[in-house]
Chains A and B, each alone.
Chain A
Amino acid sequence: AQSVTQPDIHITVSEGASLELRCNYSYGATPYLFWYVQSPGQGLQLLLKYFSGDTLVQGIKGFEAEFKRSQSSFNLRKPSVHWSDAAEYFCAVGAPNTGNQFYFGTGTSLTVIP
């Protein structure tokens, strides 16, 4: 069965520090991988996605993520965090052969200290 694990429930970083949010997935083949961000009381916004090709993908707001097949991981990174990055971050897997379904991790809440 497909699943997504985000091991860190909550992370606190100082503004200007680097950030890495972890994501591991379970899927029988190479899935489509996504990172979404959610502000309180709002919907989710797509940060970046991996379908195929280059395993390092660039997204919006200065985020990037690297797909590592051997580790079944798709960690999200940002070299310098801004206060406005405080939000909830969700990793997701798209599994086309299950009828276009998407599976989400439980999310990581990011707090940014001034």
Chain B
Amino acid sequence: DGGITQSPKYLFRKEGQNVTLSCEQNLNHDAMYWYRQDPGQGLRLIYYSQIVNDFQKGDIAEGYSVSREKKESFPLTVTSAQKNPTAFYLCASSEIGSANEKLFFGSGTQLSVL
């Protein structure tokens, strides 16, 4: 079945530690996205990528980094510079083109600070 796989489901970070969240898609979508979800704040865009080896900052990119070395993979690193990393992180992908621009989501990663 085609879809988006996020791992791990739960992740714990120690102070000063970088952690990486995995996102893989087999939908052959060009665009991929990372969103952060906090209670009562909806989804906020961290980074997005429309093509391999290229990505753009979203609204809350500080303290995060990404890479897009392969079309199907878009890992997110939460660095030690992100002082409030506890949140639910959602990866999504989309085709590019008017009738097909809709987001498909993974099942999310809950990141907590120890």
Contact = CB atoms under 8 A, between A and B. Distances in A.
Interface of A: 9, 32, 34, 36, 41-46, 49, 51, 90, 92, 94, 96, 99-107
A60 B92 CA distance: 20
Given A34-B102, A41-B110, A43-B90, A104 B56 contact: no
Contact of A42 (B40, B48, B108): B108
A45 to B, nearest CB: 7
Q: A interface, by DSSP: helix, strand, loop or mixed?
A: strand
Contacts of A103: 45
A100 B41 contact: no
Given A43-B108, A100-B31, A100-B94, A90 B43 contact: yes
7 contacts: A34-B102, A43-B90, A43-B107, A44-B90, A94-B102, A100-B48, A104-B42
Given A90-B42, A90-B43, A41 B105 contact: no
Interface of B: 4, 6, 31, 33, 35, 40-45, 48, 50, 56, 58, 88, 90, 92, 94, 96, 98-99, 101-108, 110
B107 A96 contact: no
B41 A49 contact: no
Contact of A100 (B40, B44, B90, B96): B96
